[in-house]
Amino acid sequence: MKQLTNENYFSLENQMMYMGVSQFKAFEKCEAAALAEITGNFERERTTALLVGSYVDAHFEGSLDVFKAKNPQLFKKNGELKSEYIKAEEIISRVERDPLFMYYMNGEKQVIMTGKIEGVPVKIKIDSYHPEKMIVDLKIMKDFQPIYIEEKGRMSWIEAWGYDLQGAVYQEIVRQNTGLKLPFYIAAATKEKEPDLDLFEIPQPYLDVELGRFKENIQRYDGIKNKIFEPERCGHCDYCKATKVLTAPKSLEVLNYE
């Protein structure tokens, strides 16, 4: 088994070998799309919102120059940064003025660990790891307002985006590697006109519930990757639309029911 590095962490080989939090959440949304992405048959769109977050991540990781070189779409034709990434620079400048925020972000950067949950290999990469003290993940959000999720209602953005699940898995893998159950924190900033910033600790009961959810589903998702189970299609994501095959007309009543 090859050692995981920043360079091969997201390779197709390691995506097949390991379960990660992002991969798990992709399976929750659409099993068919997640499998297609892992096998290289579908590429999820890299949105500007995602790239802005990655820009700030790269800065704190110390790899911003490499990130810029790999993403020429960040720049205008005249070589200047586009406005979205100028905003990313403003966010960086704002959080670096806050001593407590920077204390939480000044742990060991991009620490990779592996373990097993329910017998399935799992990989994590920690933004800021303080050995024997805490696990910190950096998030760049639109704002800190609650988010409405269909069938679940209004939720905190942390729960809506599954960051409590991420914390649960990170805590468990760190525990397996160190014997210590460390607290999980989110260091967050917003893309608002005047960037907001804050630190959030996810309470242990939340982490315990989410680890249970991860354990309940990880073997099925791993089974899909290993062709034991057939993936289910959600029917409405981009992958499902792109691979949709019509078999018969639908009744208007179907639309009314949906």
Q: From CA 118, how far away is CA 215, in angstroms rounded? A: 6
pLDDT confidence of residue 188: 97
For the stretch 48-69, pLDDT in tens is 888 888 899 899 988 899 889 9
Question: What is the reported pTM?
Answer: 0.92
Q: What does the block give as tokens for 220? A: 């099925």
Q: From CA 241, how far away is CA 68, in angstroms rounded? A: 32
Q: From CA 164, how far away is CA 39, in angstroms rounded? A: 27
- Contact predicate 129/107, CB 8 Å: yes
Give SS3 for 11. Answer: coil
pLDDT confidence of residue 166: 98
Average pLDDT over residues 211-234: 97
For the stretch 144-163, pLDDT in tens is 999 998 888 999 999 999 99
Any idea which architecture 12-44+98-257 has in CATH?
Alpha-Beta Complex (3.90)
Q: From CA 107, how far away is CA 87, in angstroms rounded? A: 25
Scan for tokens 């197709």, then name that residue: 12
Give the residue among 140, 112, 124, 137 at the shortest CA–CA distance from 47. 140
Task: Delimit the domains of the chain by residue range.
Answer: 12-44+98-257
Scan for tokens 């006109």, then name that residue: 193
